Structure 1
Amino acid sequence: MYTTPWNLSTESQLSEIKSDNSTATNLNDSSLERTIEVIILSVISLIALMGNVSVCLVVIKTMDLRRASNSLVLCLATADILVATFNMPMMIVTIATGDWMFSNEACVATGFIGMTLLIASVLSLAAISVDRYNIICHVAKFQQKKKSTAIMIIGVWVFSLLLASPPLFGWAEYGYRPRQSVCFCLWTASVSYTFFMVGACFGLPCIVMSCCYIRVLWTVKKSRQRIEAMDTNTKQISILEMPNLTNHLTFPVNHDTLPSVHHDEITVMENEINTKDVNSMPKESLTPCDPRIPGLEIMQHRTKKKVKKKREEIRFTLSLVVVVFVFIICWLPYCIEMFYSVFSNQSTPRSVALLTQLLGYLNSGINPILYGALNKQFRDGYSKIYRPLLNRCHC
């Protein structure tokens, strides 16, 4: 009979082990239950691995998605890939055998890695929300740079490592949790660390994400009204005053003697074009857009291109709002169970504790599905990757 090699004999750890003796025994007695759990977790792991690898390939191969801001999406996908290839397999082995089969050091390392990846996922989502806020709400001032994005990614991983480190030095502990069949932080070891982690790694990032996306949604609502106005006025463009002029510039449309219009010298303020502006302007300041005037034709093309790009940014941002919402739904039950285990005299039933852990892991597999369901560029990218494989299988 295998005995778990425990060397960490603190009171908090012993109390957690004692409270879970019955559930650990039940786990050993129920092979059918273990089989079902292993199958479910294996499916989640496979979906998470394939989905997030696909996300990385799509972002790398698709020119329109190969932007600095999407490096943060790659950062999130990388964290999910590591969860699927390390933490989930360790949990599968533990469920299958009915106990932790490795050393204390391996358990501590597994808990530390799991905590680091969880924090990295949360901070990646927070960084993405700040990035989306800048792109949508401050498009004129904000310029995406690879250097600033790289700094954000490095910051995500550095802070993740720092926040996951205190249990290694005595503030809380990493150990085996039989009810969830996983090595993770023993929250009962330090209530102060529990509050700190909930605040720093769940509460604060959620506040940041909520503030950013509320502002984004408000801006999107205004932008949609402007874009609709631009669509209905593509043949009637108001050429606004240039920085050094006080009056509107007008160009008479005379097909016999057309003026030379240089499009680089004309500034079209697309964000300010709407029906109200056009109707309120003097008639002499409005000029019909003649398709035979090269400068105005180019301006129309550029305006349409900018509108299309802005729409794509808005759609992608809205899909990320859904990703954040789903993340909160998946991990909120785990936080509730965590607080319950810390402050309640009764232990959570193993089925409930394990379900909260599985739901958190499920989030790693849901993200790629959400990208594909809510974003056409990702759908097209997935199709390019998997359609040739499916065609080969049919052959």
Structure 2
Amino acid sequence: MPDTFTLIKNRTEPRLGQPERTLATVGSARPTWVIAVLAGVLIFTTVVDVLGNLLVIISVFRNRKLRNSGNVFVVSLAFADLVAAFYPYPLVLHALFHDGWALGNTQCMVSGFLMGLSVIGSIFNITGIAVNRYCYICHSFSYSRLYSYRNTMLFVALIWLLTIVAIVPNFFVGSLRYDPRVYSCTFAQNVSSSYTVAVVVVHFLVPIAVVTFCYLRIWVLVIQVRRKVKAEESPRLRPSDLRNFITMFVVFVLFAICWAPLNLIGLAVAIDPSHVAPRIPEWLFVVSYFMAYFNSCLNAIIYGLLNKNFRNEYKRIISSVWVTRLFVTETSRAATDGRSMKSKQSPPPPLNNNESDRDRINKI
């Protein structure tokens, strides 16, 4: 009769098929230095992600020049990137030093849900930013009406509602599983071919197509204005508008570069999971996975490099934090020194019956 520990373990562990068992064996045979490098990448991504995206959010709330409808989507994207900084790491740290397969289904589902919020939320917000920039530059006369404060908040709420709706089917298909190659619960590409194709199309290809269309139209208009082909008909582009567009275009390009390999692998696996999946080199999948999640810490850096308003606000925030830290340190040090001086002061010597006040003062 099996003992209680065995029964509990059997209930909490995911059921593994042959492909998963093979992956578990492969993932557990890595050299220590490889695990250390992967852990270092995760830690670096987490630190830069948290600090950078917090700077973005604080900058928009502090600077009036940054408080506009377009940057509401930027703040929403920063929140999505912040989720990416937290969802895999408790599981990763557990898996690096323990048996990852001992993690419960509930933990895996929660981690997978957070992953979906980050990944799908990011691509949908990037799509929202592209549509916003397209309306602002190509349809400037109706932009104020389309992107009033109320409408902008509704658009952002719609993005997150669609994000949650897009995550829900994973719980019914059972596609969120622990993958020992990346020490995390993630989307399993070999669970269902049709569902994997649907995910890649809906979550990546369609948004990329929409964003590409918007930015191509903007580029065409920019070229026309620059060459003065339609000088009278085309709206005037301010240099700041062009810089903002270029910034968001670079954000989109980096997102596409970072996420394309993982999605292409997913499509290849979906064609024939039993034959293609074992032939995907482990290093290729791992590099693709870490490229995708490294993207979450890049946006804040791009804003700082290409957008003057963000860069100046970054400097002001860091300076204020540094000055506050110095003030607290100096205040604490002055208080400590004051207490030390008080403790070192010796009391005046007692008066002698035979000595005058002048003699006592001279002694002191």
- The TM tier, using the shorter chain, reads 0.7 to 0.9
Query: Deviation at 1:353?
Result: 2.0
Partner of 1:371: 303
Q: Which amino acid in the other structure matches residue 336 of structure 1?
A: L
What secondary structure does 1:321 align onto? helix
Partner of 1:383: 315
Query: Deviation at 1:172?
Result: 4.4
Q: Return the match for 1:356 from 285, 288, 295.
A: 288
Partners of 1:181 and 1:354 within 8 A in 2 = no
Query: Deviation at 1:217?
Result: 1.1
Query: Deviation at 1:225?
Result: 4.9
Hey, what's the Cα distance between the residues in 1 that align with 2:161 and 2:72? 16
Q: Which amino acid in the other structure matches residue 21 of structure 2?
A: K
Q: Return the match for 2:262 from 320, 330, 334.
A: 334
- Report the CA distance shift for 1:92/1:349 in structure 2 as closer, same or farther (over 3 A): farther
Partners of 2:72 and 2:152 within 8 A in 1 = yes
Query: Deviation at 1:332?
Result: 0.8
Q: Which amino acid in the other structure matches residue 258 of structure 2?
A: C
What secondary structure does 1:334 align onto? helix
> Aligned pair 1:24/2:27, yes or no?
yes
Partner of 2:123: 122
Hey, what's the Cα distance between the residues in 2 that align with 1:5 and 1:60? 47
Hey, what's the Cα distance between the residues in 2 that align with 1:273 and 1:200? 36
Partner of 1:240: none
What secondary structure does 1:218 align onto? helix
Q: How does 1:172-211 map to 2 (within 5 A)?
A: 172-211=174-213
Partners of 1:42 and 1:92 within 8 A in 2 = no
Q: Which amino acid in the other structure matches residue 20 of structure 1?
A: L
Query: Deviation at 1:340?
Result: 3.9
Query: Deviation at 1:273?
Result: 9.4
Q: Which amino acid in the other structure matches residue 81 of structure 2?
A: D
What secondary structure does 1:86 align onto? coil
Query: Deviation at 1:355?
Result: 1.6
Structure whose alpha-carbon radius of gyration is higher: 2
Q: Which moved more, 1:356-365 or 1:30-39?
A: 30-39
Hey, what's the Cα distance between the residues in 2 that align with 1:390 and 1:347? 52
- Report the CA distance shift for 1:4/1:81 in structure 2 as closer, same or farther (over 3 A): farther
TM-score for the superposition, normalised by structure 2 = 0.79
TM-score for the superposition, normalised by structure 1 = 0.73
Whose helix proportion is higher, 1 or 2? 2
Q: Which runs of 5+ in 1 are unaligned?
A: 230-270, 275-305
Partner of 1:65: 66
Number of equivalent positions: 315
Partner of 1:79: 80
Hey, what's the Cα distance between the residues in 2 that align with 1:162 and 1:141? 30
What secondary structure does 1:184 align onto? strand
Partner of 1:239: none
Q: How does 1:138-149 map to 2 (within 5 A)?
A: 138-143=139-144, 144-149=147-152
Partner of 2:45: 44
Q: Which amino acid in the other structure matches residue 363 of structure 1?
A: N
Q: How does 1:1-395 map to 2 (within 5 A)?
A: 7-9=13-15, 13-27=16-30, 30-97=31-98, 99-143=100-144, 144-169=147-172, 171-225=173-227, 272=232, 310-342=238-270, 343=272, 344-390=276-322
Listed one character per residue, the Cα deviations across residues 174-201 of structure 1 (whole Å, up to 9, x for unaligned) are 1111112110122211111101111101
Query: Deviation at 1:317?
Result: 1.1
What secondary structure does 2:38 align onto? helix
Partner of 2:351: none
Q: Which runs of 5+ in 2 are unaligned?
A: 331-364
Query: Deviation at 1:333?
Result: 1.2
Hey, what's the Cα distance between the residues in 2 that align with 1:380 and 1:314? 18
Hey, what's the Cα distance between the residues in 1 that align with 2:48 and 2:62? 21
Query: Deviation at 1:5?
Result: 6.1
- Report the CA distance shift for 1:96/1:146 in structure 2 as closer, same or farther (over 3 A): farther
How large is the Cα RMSD of the aligned pairs? 2.8
